[in-house]
Amino acid sequence: MKNQALRISSYLVSSLLHGPLSESGTWLSTVSSFADDLNLTHAFENLSKIAFFRSGEWMYAFCEEIFSYHPDNRTESVLNKALREQAIAVCGERSWVYGRLKLILAGNDISLKISIPWPLNIVISEESLVIYHNVFRFLFELKQAKWALDNAKWTLRSENPKLALLRSRCLYVINGIHAFIADHIEVAHAEFMCTLTKSDIESNLDNLLTYFSTYLTRVKEISLLSDNVSQKMLNQTLRELFELCGEFQFPCEMDVEYLASEFSTRVGFLRTVLSEALQGSGCVRIEASSLLRVLEDSCKFNTGVTTRFHF
C-alpha cells in the first residue's frame, strides 16, 4: 500500500512539473499546445520572467511604454495592452500564462493579478500569488525610479549643475539597489529551477511544496518584503527613496535643496540599519556587503550639493 501511494505521488508530481503523461510513461501525442504548457515548469519560468522582471529586454519595453505616460494619463486599457504585447513575446502566443495576467490601476498604484488554472493552483496557491503580486509592485516602483533618473539627463539643463549632480548621486544608489535585487533574484530562481530535477522532489509532492515555498520566501526577503518590523521599515524607506527619484521625471517642478536633504536622510538611514543588522549576525554576509558598500559610498558624497558641480 505504501509503495502504491509513493507511485501515485511520483506520478502526480511528474504530471504537474512536466505535463500530462500516458499510462506507459510516454508523452501523449494528441495533447494540445495548451496542455503541453499546462505544467509547473512553464509556469515557474514565465511567471518569474514577468512578475520578477527576469525577462529584461521584453519587460524593459513594457516599462518604457508605461513610464512614458504621465501617471494621470494611464488607464487599465493602456497598461494591459502593453503587458499583453510583451507577455506574448515572453511566453509565446499559445501559452496560457499571458491570457491570465491583468494589471489593476488604483489611483497611481499598479498591481498585477494572476489567475492560475487547476491543477497548477494546487502548488501555486493564492498565498503564493500574493508574493508574486507584492514583488511585482515593488520592482515596478524601483524600475520607475531608475527610468526617471536615466531619462532625466535629456531634460536637465546645463545651467542647473546642482540638479545634475543630485541626479548622478541618486542614480548611483538606485543602480546599486537595482543590481543587487535583480542579481539575487536571478540566482534564487536558477537554484530553484535546478532543484526541480532532484529525485526527492520528483517523487514527493510535499518536498516540491517545501522547495517552492523556500524559493518564494527568499525572493520576498531579497525584496525586503518580509513581515518582520525591520524589513518593513527598510522597505518603506526604499519606497520613499523611489518616490523621491521619481521627481526627476518632472525636473522643472523640483525643489533641489529639499530633495537632496530628503535623499541623504533616507540613504543614511538605510546604511545604518543594514550595517547594524549585518554586524549583529556575527559576520558580514558577502551577498549583502555589496549593497552596503553602495550606501556607504553614497553617504560620503556632499549632502548640500553646493561644492561639487562635476560628475
Q: Is the Cβ–Cβ distance between 178 and 142 less than 8 Å?
A: yes
Residue 158 forms part of a structural domain: yes
Cα–Cα dist 117/246, whole Å: 37
Give the residue-averaged pLDDT of 122-137: 91
Which of 43-52, 91-100, 295-304 has the least mean pLDDT?
295-304
Residue 131 domain-assigned? no
Domain that holds residue 157: 142-310
Query: Is 167 inside a domain boundary?
Result: yes
Residue 194 lies in a domain: yes
Structural domain total, the chain: 1
User: Which has the minimum average pLDDT: 42-46, 205-209, 215-219, 227-231?
Assistant: 227-231
Whether the pLDDT of residue 40 is over 80: the answer is: yes
In a domain, 261, yes or no: yes
pLDDT at 33 (0 to 100):
45
Classify strands 101-106 and 109-114 as parallel, antiparallel or unpaired: antiparallel
pLDDT of residue 128: 92
Going by C-alpha positions, the residue among 148, 168, 153, 155 that lies closest to residue 310 is 168
Q: What is the spatial distance between Cα 128 and Cα 117, in angstroms, rounded to a whole number?
A: 14
Any domain includes 100? no
pLDDT bracket for residue 139 (50, 70, 90): very high
Q: pLDDT per residue over 241-289, tens digit each?
A: 888 888 887 766 667 788 888 888 888 888 887 777 666 444 335 456 6
Q: Is residue 7 domain-resident?
A: no
Cell representation of residue 2: 505504501
Q: What share of the chain is helix, strand, coil (3-state, %, to 5)?
A: 70, 5, 25
Question: Is residue 17 over pLDDT 60?
Answer: yes
The answer to whether residue 276 sits within a structural domain is: yes
Beta-sheet strands, E only, within 97-249: 101-106, 109-114
Of 14-28, 62-76, 269-283, least confident by mean pLDDT is: 14-28
Handedness of CA 187, 195, 286, 222 (dihedral sign): positive
Say if residue 119 is preceded by a cis peptide, omega within 30 of 0: yes
